[in-house]
Amino acid sequence: MLAVRIISSNNKRIRRLAEILNVEEKEAGKIISEVDKEQSEFFRKAYGKKEASPYEFDMVINCDFMDHPPSVAEVIATAFFEKFSVELAPKKTVIYHAEKIDDELQI
% of the chain at pLDDT higher than 90: 54
Question: Could you tell me the pLDDT band of residue 43, with boundaries at 50, 70 and 90?
Answer: confident
The pLDDT of residue 49: 83
pLDDT average, residue stretch 31-48: 91
The pLDDT of residue 92: 61
H or E stretch at 6: strand 4-7
Q: Mark 47-79 as b/e (b = at least 16 C-beta within 10 Å).
A: eeeeebeeeeeebebebeeeeeeeeeeeebeee
pLDDT average, residue stretch 56-85: 90
- Measured CA to CA, the distance from residue 74 to residue 64 in angstroms comes to 17
58 contact partners, CB below 8 Å, separation of at least 6: 2, 3, 4, 79, 83
Predicted confidence (pLDDT) at residue 78 exceeds the cutoff of 80: yes
pLDDT average, residue stretch 70-93: 81
Domains and CATH numbers, the chain: 4-105 (3.40.50.300)
